[in-house]
Structure 1
């Protein structure tokens, strides 16, 4: 996630240089086609790029709004996970008489957080095993959905505490409600990850942008000559960079500067819960990269 107010132009150019190069080639080709083929036969009406530009504005606006909605919903879900994690740890530490079991369940929850993060980012991250017992590791490894398996172990542990009268019915319901909320948040994250953004919208937007760049260059070359190549690229750059940067939010869990800072969020939860357990070996917070973004 970007943490700076101003984005360097170099970063935008790094993200779009390939498309910029193709646009310059397209604008150059359009100029020569108009100069040596079309100019002697007819003029191209300015209404064509005008209509295309209007259509592109609608498509880019819709795409970016939907992409940001996905990103913001994912951020709200992880904000809820942070709050529910603290509440779960507080309830376990203060409600459960068996402190050894309570501490084990809090550590197991840290494992759940890291397992969920690894799944959302489709990475092989074994850090979650650090907070599991050997028995838990063997049980979790049998499941493809490891974070769900960890929650299941938490529920079984909670049920055992209730049967052994180490917590009463009210406290059992309070802690179980936290597990239910975490399950809902987990499902929300999986829904966002597994729901593909409609490809027709992004595809048509790209097609319209290229048609606009070519027709715009053809029209203005009638008055600007070879300078139309630069102007065609410049106007196209505005549309392309806006579309690319908006679509970067479509997958909020990707491990990149525009994605959610899951490393930072997970480490924050880990630090908070370990401090609640009065542990001394506390990891350092995740630091920003180049003081520009945080993962």
Structure 2
């Protein structure tokens, strides 16, 4: 996620340069051939082009609004993950009790539950970023974590749990099942009452809801006709625009047409880059930073002092 106000032009040009080069070539060609275009009556009235631009602006506004809604919903989902994680640590540490003889064993069990939850958060982040029902984009300008690499979960679970998680199609769900079995074990040992067990299980249900809502956004992209035909119309407008301006504006048509085309292209680019918030790109939801926040909160609740540092923006980007 970009956190600084100024977006690097290198980032914009990386994705826009083919279209911008095309628009510039069309503008220059129309200007150099303006006499022949006028002789053949190929210069167009500006009114139909203006109507097309107005319709396209409405279309772009609708799509960008929907794309931002998906991005903001993703951020709210992970905000809930932060809140419920803090609640989970509090419940595990305050609602479980045992005889004095088993106090040390209970403390280790509570730490296991909290550490396994940290592994779940990291696994969910990696799972969302490494699975997709549509092509991913990776470039040198975008620092992308290794796909399907769950090594960050390893310090928080034992070898058997890690191997079981790695073999599964849905590692976060496997960790949630382990948490459920852990609560079952705590009930058998009378560390939690029936009422407390229900409360803890309800928190696990909320984590399932967080995962399910995030997967819905991940695996259900914005209908592709919106993106495809919008991009086509942007290029059609950029092609026709110089024909409508050349008769009245002369050489000023070239920069003006180019700038107008760039505006529509930029709006299209914003929507296309925002609609899929879990692709681990520079403008996506900062899952790595949120996961690190949760990890710090969980370990601090356990009384640990050697906490990992919060993630800071790099080159204006918070991952």
Name the TM-score class by shorter chain. over 0.9
Q: Higher mean Cα deviation, 42-51 or 195-204? A: 42-51
Q: Higher mean Cα deviation, 77-86 or 227-236? A: 227-236
1:25-44 matches, cutoff 5 A: 25-32=25-32, 34-36=34-36, 38-42=37-41, 43-44=43-44
1:96-107 matches, cutoff 5 A: 96-97=96-97, 98-107=106-115
Confirm whether residue 124 of structure 1 aligns to residue 148 of structure 2.
yes
Confirm whether residue 259 of structure 1 aligns to residue 284 of structure 2.
yes
Q: Which runs of 5+ in 2 are unaligned?
A: 98-105, 131-146
2:307 pairs with one of 278, 282, 295? 282
Query: How far apart are the structure 1 equivalents of 2:70 and 2:40?
Result: 49
Q: Higher mean Cα deviation, 21-30 or 87-96? A: 21-30
Deviation, structure 1 residue 229? 2.1
Other structure's SS at 2:288 match: helix
Equivalent residue, structure 2, for 1:186? 211
Query: How far apart are the structure 1 equivalents of 2:8 and 2:162?
Result: 45
1:174 pairs with one of 199, 207, 213? 199
Equivalent residue, structure 1, for 2:72? 72
Query: How far apart are the structure 2 equivalents of 1:10 and 1:141?
Result: 38
- Summarize deviations over 1:146-177 as a string: whole Å, max 9, x none: 00000000001101111221100111111111
Contact 1:30 1:214 in 2 (8 A): no
Deviation, structure 1 residue 107? 0.1
Deviation, structure 1 residue 29? 3.2
Equivalent residue, structure 2, for 1:115? 123
Q: Higher mean Cα deviation, 73-82 or 5-14? A: 5-14
Query: How far apart are the structure 2 equivalents of 1:136 and 1:181?
Result: 22
Deviation, structure 1 residue 11? 4.4
2:273 pairs with one of 242, 248, 251? 248
Query: How far apart are the structure 1 equivalents of 2:266 and 2:233?
Result: 14
Query: How far apart are the structure 2 equivalents of 1:6 and 1:240?
Result: 18
The two structures have a TM-score, normalised by structure 1, of 0.94
Contact 1:48 1:215 in 2 (8 A): no
Equivalent residue, structure 1, for 2:161? 136
Deviation, structure 1 residue 32? 4.5
1:136-155 matches, cutoff 5 A: 136-155=161-180
Confirm whether residue 83 of structure 1 aligns to residue 83 of structure 2.
yes
Equivalent residue, structure 1, for 2:138? none
Deviation, structure 1 residue 34? 4.7
Query: How far apart are the structure 1 equivalents of 2:312 and 2:40?
Result: 62
Confirm whether residue 63 of structure 1 aligns to residue 63 of structure 2.
yes
Contact 1:110 1:270 in 2 (8 A): yes
Query: How far apart are the structure 1 equivalents of 2:174 and 2:53?
Result: 51
Query: How far apart are the structure 2 equivalents of 1:73 and 1:271?
Result: 24
Query: How far apart are the structure 1 equivalents of 2:248 and 2:9?
Result: 30
Equivalent residue, structure 2, for 1:213? 238
Confirm whether residue 3 of structure 1 aligns to residue 3 of structure 2.
yes
The two structures have a TM-score, normalised by structure 2, of 0.87
1:165 pairs with one of 170, 187, 190? 190
